[in-house]
Amino acid sequence: MIVVDVALLMLALALALGLVRVFRGPSVADRAVAADVCLYAVVAALSLLSIRLGAAALLDAVLVATMLGFVATLSLAILVKRKR
């Protein structure tokens, strides 16, 4: 379980760095990519927590978050394309 804990720590670091980029990004496209990184870091963390806690119910949340993230990515791509 130490490997899972280390992976969770690394994902927390990725989330923190992604949030910095969301707030300081020079363009809308940079912020959109950073928001995607943050979302998928959360999804990966939920997956690892499911393994760590043995809670299969968290996998349902992972599926829902992944579907919402895909739709959000498409929406942001359309928004960024319109801005150009």
Cα separations (Å) of 62 from 43, 50, 52, 59? 6, 9, 14, 5
What is the pTM assigned to this prediction? 0.84
pLDDT score recorded for residue 84 = 63
- Tell me how many domains the chain contains: 1
pLDDT score recorded for residue 78 = 87
38: domain CATH number is: 1.10.287
pLDDT score recorded for residue 10 = 96
Q: Residue 7 sits in which domain range?
A: 2-83
Spatial distance between the Cα atoms of 15 and 12, rounded to a whole number of angstroms: 5
Burial call 4-41: b when 16+ CB within 10 Å, e when fewer: eeebeeebeebbeebeebbeeeeeebebbbbbbbbbbb
Give mean pLDDT in consecutive 10-residue pieces for the chain, a chain of 84 residues. Answer: 93 95 88 90 94 91 93 86 75
